[in-house]
């Protein structure tokens, strides 16, 4: 979830806007025709109305998502995971400037907000589901934390390190909540669950019954989208960082996700997305377990795009571009530019 941001400095913003408006981002793009640009979204919504949600996971406002899809239609050829696998099997060719639209987790707004826009543009996407959170009142720890920090009357919180941090206003509290969420990522999975369960009590917050059930899609909605042509893939059962659990647990999360989703959909799924997806979150053993579990391709959240040669060399470590609601269209264009891959 945590991604390096393009600079927000005014001069940088003016340079990006100038390059976009003058078409400079398209200079020399023919040299990168044999590439795959995978964009990654989580949620589509308005951060101004989602104040008790984890705002970094809101990838775009609906109107901005619409414009971004129009940009992809103009400059790329949007493909599916099925297309990608057909190419890997030497059964078909990929078009030049191939692009793939992906979502992680399975939030309800993928159905209510993203799905109508995808249909408007006649585009498909791949949604990687965390099976244990679909259709039930089981929040991710970042969503639970965002809710608790927003609704608490407290002004301090204990961190796993033993440090106590306090705040004086809502803005400070939100920043500290993000730091607390990041701190939990570094914990073993069992400890993270324990700290998550204790948080409402620590902040003296009562959560309405079934509040988080309305945050995620249900299986009827997933099946409807699948029938239309939206692809679904695995994102584990409970969203652990796979390098921080045992190989046996990791295999159960990876394989179990595939089997459970296939049972719900009545069809095979082929793609997998690693939770968190950064360099430290994926290793050769996790890749091997993913391949062994029957997936054909898998995706990280290390910065893209990628060349087709890289995809062919390791289809279980395909890079993706994290999209944020802070990205204007010129920034989105820069993110999908070939040189974004080399941004530190």
DSSP-derived secondary structure letter, 217: -
Side-chain-side CA neighbours of residue 63 (13 Å): 3
Q: What gap in Å lies between CA 295 and CA 269, rounded to an integer?
A: 7
- Count of CB atoms situated within 10 Å of the CB of 166: 11
Q: Exposed, middle or buried: residue 117 (CB in 10 Å: 0-12, 13-18, 19+)?
A: buried
pLDDT digits (tens, 9 = 90+) for 195-242: 999 999 999 999 998 899 889 999 999 999 999 999 999 999 999 999
Phi, psi of 272 (to 5 degrees): -135, 145
Query: What per-residue confidence (pLDDT) applies to 154?
Result: 97
Residues 44/50/55/57 CA torsion (nearest 10 deg): -30
Query: What per-residue confidence (pLDDT) applies to 144?
Result: 96
Cβ contacts of residue 121 below 8 Å, gap of 6+? 66, 69, 70, 73
Query: What per-residue confidence (pLDDT) applies to 232?
Result: 98
For residue 167, pLDDT beyond 90: yes
Phi, psi of 147 (to 5 degrees): -65, -45
Q: What gap in Å lies between CA 176 and CA 171, rounded to an integer?
A: 9
Average pLDDT of the chain, as a whole number:
93
Cβ contacts of residue 10 below 8 Å, gap of 6+? none
Q: What gap in Å lies between CA 273 and CA 288, rounded to an integer?
A: 14
**Pick the residue with more confidence: 24 or 107?**
107
Residue 8 has which token pair?
Answer: 């927000």
Query: What per-residue confidence (pLDDT) applies to 73?
Result: 97
pLDDT digits (tens, 9 = 90+) for 43-100: 999 998 888 889 999 999 999 999 999 999 999 999 999 999 999 999 999 999 999 9
Q: Are the CB atoms for 234 and 273 separated by under 8 Å?
A: yes
Q: Residues 238-247: what's their mean pLDDT?
A: 95
Q: What is the pTM of this model?
A: 0.93
Q: Coil, strand or helix: which one is 235?
A: coil
């Amino acid at each position: 979830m945590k991604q390096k941001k393009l600079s927000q400095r005014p001069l940088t913003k003016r340079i990006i806007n100038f390059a976009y408006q003058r078409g400079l981002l398209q200079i020399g793009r023919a040299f990168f025709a044999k590439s795959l640009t995978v964009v990654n979204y989580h949620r589509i919504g308005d951060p101004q109305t989602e104040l008790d949600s984890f705002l970094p996971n809101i990838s775009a406002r609906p109107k901005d998502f619409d414009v971004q899809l129009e940009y992809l239609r103009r400059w790329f050829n949007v493909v599916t995971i099925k297309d990608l696998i057909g190419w890997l099997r030497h059964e078909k060719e990929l078009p030049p400037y191939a692009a793939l639209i992906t979502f992680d987790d399975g939030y309800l707004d993928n159905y209510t907000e993203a799905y109508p826009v995808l249909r408007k543009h006649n585009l498909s996407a791949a949604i990687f589901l965390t099976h244990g959170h679909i259709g039930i009142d089981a929040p991710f720890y970042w969503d639970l934390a965002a809710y608790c920090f927003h609704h608490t009357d407290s002004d301090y919180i204990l961190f796993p390190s033993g440090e106590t941090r306090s705040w004086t206003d809502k803005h400070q509290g939100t920043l500290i909540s993000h730091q607390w969420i990041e701190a939990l990522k570094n914990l073993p999975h069992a400890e993270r669950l324990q700290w998550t369960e204790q948080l409402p009590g620590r902040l003296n917050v009562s959560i309405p019954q079934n509040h988080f059930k309305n945050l995620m899609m249900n299986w009827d909605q997933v099946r409807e989208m699948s029938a239309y042509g939206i692809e679904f893939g695995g994102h584990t059962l409970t969203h652990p960082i796979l390098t921080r659990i045992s190989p046996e647990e990791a295999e159960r999360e990876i394989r179990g996700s595939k089997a459970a989703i296939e049972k719900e959909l009545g069809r095979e799924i082929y793609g997998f997305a690693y939770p968190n997806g950064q360099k430290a979150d994926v290793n050769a053993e996790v890749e091997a377990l993913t391949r062994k579990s029957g997936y054909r391709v898998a995706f990280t959240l290390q910065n893209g795009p990628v060349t087709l040669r890289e995809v062919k060399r390791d289809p279980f470590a395909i890079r993706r571009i994290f999209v944020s609601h802070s990205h204007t269209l010129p920034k989105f264009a820069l993110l999908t530019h070939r040189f974004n891959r080399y941004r530190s």
